[in-house]
Amino acid sequence: MAYPDDLLSDGEAVVLHKHPHWKMLLVPYLALVVILGLGIWGAILVQDLSWAMIAWIIIGALALILTIWLFIVPFLRWRTTHFIVTTDRVMAREGIVTRTGIDIPLSRISSVRFEHGLIDRVVGCGTLIIESSAQEPLEFDDIPNVEKVHTLLYREVNDNPYDDHKAIDGRA
């Protein structure tokens, strides 16, 4: 899904647009399977009761509430979280109802690094850490292909000439 062009400045182009890694959805999908399994099991248990219809309604309502809370909300949170690198800046946007965002001009980035543990390496994601000249380091978790994103961001910063720009590796 492309980032809306009307939110970019003149001459700015999207270089990279990613959602968090799919590993963020493992627990919500597991919750969905458990909710469905327990709901079916509960419906089978109460089918011979005289008040089975009421029990089914209660089971269905409970399953619906749990599905919204444990699956739909995390899925929408994942879907509405964006990590974008453009020719001018790095942007992060997230939120369903209340949207938050941060923009870091490429000229302000002083260093970029990444971290990923064993599980992250197996599934192909990691944490991207961006240090800018004015703020504490910003960490972006669960970035897919974090090493490639790191390299791409490094190239974008170094390929864009700025007057007061420091290279990512600390050399002028």
For range 89-118, the mean pLDDT: 90
Query: What pLDDT is recorded for position 168?
Result: 39
Secondary structure tally for the chain: helices H, strands E = 5, 7
Asked if the model's pLDDT at residue 170 lies above 70, the reply is no
Q: List the beta bridge partners of residue 115.
A: 127
pLDDT at 169: 40
118 Cβ contact partners less than 8 Å away, ≥ 6 residues apart: none
- Looking at the fold, whether 99 and 72 belong to one and the same domain comes out as no
Same domain flag for 68 and 117: no
Angle at CA of residue 151, ends 77 and 156, nearest 5°: 90
Within a domain: 20: no
**5 within some domain:** no
Q: How many domains does the chain have?
A: 2
Most confident of the following: 26-35, 86-95, 99-108, 122-131:
26-35
Domain that holds residue 73: 25-77
Q: Is residue 127 part of a domain?
A: yes
What pLDDT is recorded for position 83? 93
Place of tokens 């974090």: 146
Percent of the chain surpassing pLDDT 70? 88
Q: Do 105 and 85 touch, CB atoms closer than 8 A? A: no
- Res 12: pLDDT: 87
The verdict on residue 35 lying in a domain is yes
Domain co-membership, 32 together with 53:
yes
The pTM score is 0.78
Residue 128 within any structural domain of the chain: yes
Q: Do residues 64 and 108 both lie within one domain?
A: no
Let me know if residue 10 belongs to a domain. no
Q: How confident is the model at residue 164 (pLDDT cuts 50, 70, 90)?
A: very low
| Mean per-residue pLDDT over the chain, rounded | 87
91 and 155 share one domain: yes
Rounded Cα distance, 168 and 113, in Å:
9
First to last CA, the chain: 36
Residue 122, domain CATH = 2.30.29
- 15 domain-assigned: no
**Do residue 115 and residue 145 come from a single domain?**
yes
* Whether 97 and 62 share a structural domain: no
Domain co-membership, 155 together with 92: yes
Q: How would DSSP label each residue in 102-169?
A: EEEEGGGEEEEEEE--HHHHHHTEEEEEEEESSSPPEEEEEEETHHHHHHHHHHHHHHS--TTPPPTT
